[in-house]
Amino acid sequence: MQRVVITGAGTVNALAQDVRGTFEAMREGRCGIGTLDIPDLDRLQIRIGGQVKGWQPEARFTRTELGLYDRFTQFALVAGAEAMSQAGLETPDNPLRWGCIMGTAGGGNGTVNDAFHAVYAEAKSRVHPFTVPRLMNNAAASHLSMRWQLQGPSFSVATACASSNHAIGLAYQMIRAGLADGMLAGGSEAMLNFGGLKAWEGLRVMSKTGCRPFAKSRDGMVQGEGAGVFVLESLEHARARGAQILAEICGFAMCSDASDIVMPSQDGAARAIRGALEDGRIEAGRVGYINAHGTGTTANDKTECAAIQSALGPHASRVPISSTKAMHGHCIGGTGAVELLACLLALNEDTLAPTINYDEADPECALDIVVNTARQSRVDIALSNAFAFGGMNAVLALKRA
């Protein structure tokens, strides 16, 4: 089987519109969550989020392109361009052996919101002629594949908050099995609009005050938006063209709780963590950092901590853990891709991103949480957790290059 490496990374999120800026924000423990700037904010109970401020699509895309691109597709294309540039690829040498897998939960949610507003609030009889191509979940994957002529397997994955990890994991498996030389993979989301937030309000899992993962005072998640896109290649292919290797993906596992549509399962999360370790033939004691799912809800955080303890045993208390959602918000289907950057930061710069806003410790989350300030520590193996509504679990294991 082929070994699989990451040779390029790109992002747009509430912390920065590139990887270097995101690394700096994570290192500083900067918060990208604030008061939202969206229409009809006064009609919402939840008025904060990890919004990409200062986004200027007109400066990045032509008028024709903007007619085709929902905000989530725009984020994906900009992140994809950064990833391909870092990887040193204009177009792959054999486009038939390259593809694209992207994760998203809401797809073109902004387009849906605008179309509904036009029809119901403004009583218009027509919507934009490209409404369907803009809103479809595969729009980002399709436009990425067209932009770089990737003619291999290209599709989108929708598994709620685990979508990005599933997308990256499937791309990893495809390359490892020899079905492709390389893939673009990641996730993108843009649901910070009136309709998207009003739907989430109904679940009563959102915080009005801020995201405080693992802290005793936590009272809910805060939604964010953004994208993360990565260039994955076989190690052989990357070496042949002299590419810089950012990390190796050495394990992946996915499973289903098959129990409850919204409540997380300790057993399911633990099985996914153990599965990633087994897939990568990694002993629990070698794990040096975990980027946790850590949403800031009472149920998720204590369940995830229990799952980590179950999966890692005695070593669990010695593994540094953080949730960067406290900084950039929960980017739903794109969140795993944005959070994978924290693993790259750890593996390449020995810096563990902090869990900010942490005040009082919770006895049910009694692990080594990296609180409020980044920590310096050498990491050779990192895990990235994603546990979604519907009981969809996906865990990636990464190794220092």
Express each pLDDT in 111-120 by its tens digit.
999 999 999 9
Known catalytic residue: 330?
A: yes
Catalytic residue among 31, 100, 143, 161: 161
Return the biggest CA–CA distance within the chain: 63
Known catalytic residue: 365?
A: no
Between the alpha carbon of residue 367 and those of residues 13, 57, 233, 346, 353, the distances in Å are 28, 42, 34, 18, 16
**Which residue's structure tokens are 């809103």?**
135
Compute the C-alpha angle 270/218/315, nearest 5°.
35
- pLDDT confidence bin for 61, thresholds 50/70/90: very high
Strand stretches in 117-246, DSSP E: 154-157, 182-189, 226-234
Catalytic residue among 31, 330, 331, 365: 330
Q: pTM of the predicted model, to two decimals?
A: 0.98
Residue 203: per-residue pLDDT: 95
* pLDDT, tens only, 255-294: 999 999 999 999 999 999 999 999 999 999 999 999 999 9
Known catalytic residue: 293?
A: yes
* pLDDT, tens only, 154-213: 999 999 999 999 999 999 999 999 999 999 999 999 999 999 999 999 999 999 999 999
Pair 251, 327: CB distance under 8 Å: no
| Closest C-alpha to 57, from 193, 190, 232 | 190
Catalytic residue among 143, 166, 293, 328: 293
Domains within the chain, CATH numbers bracketed: 4-240 (3.40.47.10), 252-399 (3.40.47.10)
Share of the chain above pLDDT 90, in %: 100
